[in-house]
Amino acid sequence: MSSERPTAGRGAPAPGVSVIIPAYGVAQYIAETLDSVFAQTYRDFEIIVVNDGCPDSAALEAALRPYRERIVYIRKENGGVSSARNAGMRAARAPLIAFLDGDDAWLPDFLAVQTDYLRAHPHTAIVYCDGRIFGDTPLAGRSGMEFSPSRGEVSFESLALSRCSVALIAVVARKASILAVGGFDESLRRAEDFDLWLRVAHAGARISYHRRLLFRYRRRATGLSADDIAMAEAALRMFDKLERTLQLSASEQAALATGRQAYRADVSYFRMKDAMRRGEARMALGAVRDLLPLRRTMKFALLAFALRWAPLLTLRIARWRQR
């Protein structure tokens, strides 16, 4: 691993916030991301960009060249996004951490609002907000909390049951609260942030939220979060890991069981959609049959019947509705 710290930062007082940006396959987006940080009204920050052994390092470093005197740049062998964020935290000098992926962006008041919140709520370890989705997705223009709302108090149970959902880009956190649970689990390539919030909540740290729109989250076909089946399967593996490694109360165990069933249903649902998109009626029927015990609705029962007795017509209607 190699690291470079800007000359102006050597010997300077620690900043208020360390902004950690893992970089892998984001050379074409990183300038927009960095510009959104440098446009912040809150100015007391450092930026740590972690090159996680990306294959387009030359393009990334060319894109970073105009910023190199103002950022901390770390190169490391590829270890996944959890490894990159942990490397950034080890280099971070600030008591507060903010996470930003190299293809997303903040609105100018993001750091000001989030740090003000933590200052006004000293017992809150992590605060998150809302933001807009953009990019290659039918959800473009909608806010994150429109389709994944947060309701009520954030706890291990509410996170496991998806009553509260924390977007990593939306977070400013007290570094000590993350280090106290060991940081990101480097064995996880997906659902690593979900795993972290659950462990932080289980440890008793307070997670809070508000609904101001302060970020822009890019959805793109090549992003890790774009594969819905893989994301749901990763959540299931992560739930299994937490059940093995944490001492859970009865209510926490019940929440994990209910959450696990919901993600199993998601896997079957997304497999059904994928099979129908590809025109594979038999695979779609199998996925619907797996889904029915988990989501007993008339809609899926009728779809199973239609795929069984009129598969070609059903697929034709499905393609027409997707136009």
Q: What residue ranges define each of the domains in the chain, with the CATH number in brackets?
A: 2-226 (3.90.550.10), 237-321 (no CATH)
From start to end of the chain, where are the E strands? 2-4, 17-23, 45-52, 72-76, 96-99, 105-106, 124-135, 172-174, 206-219
Q: Could you tell me the sign of the dihedral formed by the alpha carbons of 129, 130, 135, 137, in that order?
A: positive
Lateral strand order in the sheet of 124-135? 2-4, 72-76, 45-52, 17-23, 96-99, 172-174, 124-135, 206-219, 105-106
Give exposure, 94-123, as e/b (b: 16+ Cβ within 10 Å). bebbbbbbbbbbbbebbbebbbebbeeeee
- Which pLDDT does position 219 carry in this prediction? 79
- Residue 73 DSSP symbol: E
Q: In percent, how much of the chain has pLDDT > 90?
A: 67
Q: How many angstroms separate the CA atoms of 29 and 15, rounded?
A: 25
The answer, yes or no, to whether residue 303 has pLDDT greater than 60, is yes
Say what the alpha-carbon torsion angle 257, 258, 263, 269 is, to the nearest 10 degrees: 130
Q: Tens digit of pLDDT for each residue in 68-79?
A: 999 999 999 999
Q: How many angstroms separate the CA atoms of 259 and 289, rounded?
A: 20
- Residue 174 Cα distances to 16, 35, 104, 127, 242, angstroms: 10, 24, 21, 9, 23
Q: Tens digit of pLDDT for each residue in 120-153?
A: 999 999 999 999 998 877 778 888 898 888 999 9
Banded pLDDT at 30 (limits 50, 70, 90) = very high
Backbone angles phi, psi at 226, to 5 degrees: -75, -20
Q: Taking residues 292-304, what's their average pLDDT?
A: 80
Q: Look at 221 and 171; give whichever has higher pLDDT.
A: 171
Q: 142, 50, 44: which is closest to 99 by C-alpha?
A: 50
Banded pLDDT at 280 (limits 50, 70, 90) = confident
Q: How many angstroms separate the CA atoms of 247 and 260, rounded?
A: 17
Q: In percent, how much of the chain has pLDDT > 70?
A: 93
- Which pLDDT does position 320 carry in this prediction? 64
The answer, yes or no, to whether residue 7 has pLDDT greater than 60, is no
Q: What is the mean pLDDT of the chain?
A: 90
DSSP lists the bridge partners of residue 48 as: 20, 72
Q: How many angstroms separate the CA atoms of 251 and 6, rounded?
A: 48
Q: How many angstroms separate the CA atoms of 286 and 272, rounded?
A: 8
Q: Where are the alpha helices (DSSP H) in 246-293?
A: 250-278, 281-291
The answer, yes or no, to whether residue 168 has pLDDT greater than 90, is yes
- Stated pTM of the model: 0.89
Average the pLDDT over each of 178-192, 232-246, 286-300 and give the range with the smallest value. Answer: 286-300
The answer, yes or no, to whether residue 92 has pLDDT greater than 60, is yes
- Residue 172 Cα distances to 124, 157, 190, angstroms: 10, 22, 20
